[in-house]
Amino acid sequence: MPAPNLADFEKRMDGALDALKKEFVGLRTGRASANLLDPIVVEAYGQRMPLNQVGTVSVPESRMLSVQVWDKGMVSAVSKAIREAGLGLNPMADGTLVRIPLPELNQERRKELTKIANKYAEQARVAVRNVRRDGMEALKKAEKDGHISQDEHRKLGEDIQKMTDKRVKTVDDTLAQKDTEIMTV
């Protein structure tokens, strides 16, 4: 096995950051966003499907979301999935349209959301560190097998550590930004 490719590890670390950003999009701040419903999965046709595959999500006004469900038989499943998603939303069905008013966030709910954001950020940090661990193990194996020298091992190890530090800082900055967004009344 030749020397590990740092670009692969970088790509995997960036994947963890992308996942964090997707999670954060689903965390509600004070205003409506169609992306708020992205993480919701609906029991449809005997399997679990993302909400955007059973209906069209739109934002008719700043404190309201609506989902135009394509199949009338899916309306109750969509309502149930939204209600059980843990976002504190109470959908109302109206024919094939599901209206979701966004309640004002109280201080307690905001604190709860920042805790969830912190949990997501910690998962991202752990994912980045796992990639670092994999990289370090690959370097150790490459040196042991004689593919790289001890100096190359140390140099590549430092590069992996720098990549890790940079990604963890990005996670922390993204979290601080999201916390500010959530706590802003």
> Is residue 42 situated within a structural domain?
yes
User: What are the two backbone dihedrals, phi and then psi, of residue 118, each rounded to the nearest 5 degrees?
Assistant: -65, -40
Q: Quick check: 50 and 74 in contact, CB under 8 A?
A: no
Q: Using the 3D structure, point to which of 67, 101, 135 is the last residue of a domain.
A: 101
Give the chain's domain count.
Answer: 2
pLDDT at 34: 73
Residues for the chain: how many in total? 185
- Greater confidence (178 vs 31) lies with 178
- The verdict on 165 and 114 lying in the same domain is yes
pLDDT of residue 132: 94
Look at residue 12 and tell me whether its pLDDT is greater than 60. yes
What CATH number is attached to the domain comprising 76? Answer: 3.30.1360.40
CA 108 to chain centre: 22
User: What phi and psi values does residue 82 have, to the nearest 5 degrees?
Assistant: -65, -45
At residue 3 the predicted structure's pLDDT band, cuts being 50, 70 and 90, is: low
- Average pLDDT of every residue of the chain: 85
Is 118:23 a contact under the CB 8 Å cutoff?
Answer: no
Answering whether pTM is above 0.85, one says no
Q: Which residue is associated with the tokens 């109470």? A: 90
Q: What percent of the chain has pLDDT over 70?
A: 95
Domain that holds residue 79: 31-101
Q: Rounded to whole angstroms, what are the CA distances from 165 to 6, 94, 97, 171?
A: 15, 50, 46, 10
Tell me the per-residue pLDDT of 99-156, one tens digit each, with 9 for 90 and over: 988 877 778 878 888 888 898 899 999 999 999 999 999 999 999 998 889 999 999 9
* More confident site: 168 or 103: 168
Give the pLDDT of residue 116.
83
Is residue 1 domain-resident?
no
Q: Is 65 exposed, middle or buried (0-12, 13-18, 19+ CB in 10 A)?
A: buried
- Between CA 96 and CA 146 the distance in angstroms is 65
